[in-house]
């Protein structure tokens, strides 16, 4: 069973993503509310996929992505970004992100992205 880590400083965004994925059969989730917590929990939990916001307090998603990839080059990370942050998306892809989802996102796009990463 795939373990997915949801990282966003907004609890309602984590809940929206979790709800969309739960309806598609995913049920094993780990949550973090900022980049620093995500890096720590990634090392402890070893999730199969991370879905992470870019703009967060303490440590942003790009910094966390780089730290996670330093510790695990094979880490699968999808970044979430608000409209108009295209330069951050480019940085994220260059830093090893597998894909990105633009907010506000729809449930279908989240499920499609996760399914394609898991080869479903």
pLDDT in tens, 37-81: 999 999 999 999 999 999 999 999 999 999 999 999 999 999 998
Q: Look over the chain and give the mean of its residue pLDDT values, rounded to a whole number.
A: 93
Yes or no: say if 79 and 61 are a contact pair by the CB < 8 Å rule. Answer: yes
The CA distance from 82 to 85, in Å, is 6
Q: pTM for this one?
A: 0.94
DSSP state of 52: E
Q: What is the pLDDT of residue 104?
A: 80
The pLDDT of 1-26, averaged and rounded, is 96
Provide the domain count of the chain.
1
| CA terminus-to-terminus distance, the chain | 13
Residue 83's pLDDT band (cuts 50, 70, 90): low
Q: At 43, which CATH number?
A: 3.40.50.2300
The helix/strand/coil state of 20 is helix
Print the domain residue range for 87: 3-117
């Amino acid at each position: 069973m795939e373990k997915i880590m949801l990282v966003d400083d907004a609890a309602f965004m984590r809940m929206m993503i979790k709800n969309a994925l739960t309806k598609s059969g995913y049920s094993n989730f780990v949550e973090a509310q900022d980049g620093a917590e995500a890096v720590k929990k990634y090392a402890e939990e070893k999730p199969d996929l991370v879905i992470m916001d870019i703009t967060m307090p303490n440590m942003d998603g790009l910094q966390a992505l780089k730290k996670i990839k330093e510790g695990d080059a094979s880490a699968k990370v999808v970044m979430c970004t608000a409209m108009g942050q295209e330069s951050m998306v480019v940085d994220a892809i260059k830093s090893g992100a597998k894909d990105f989802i633009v907010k506000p996102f729809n449930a279908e796009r989240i499920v499609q992205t996760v399914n394609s990463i898991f080869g479903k």
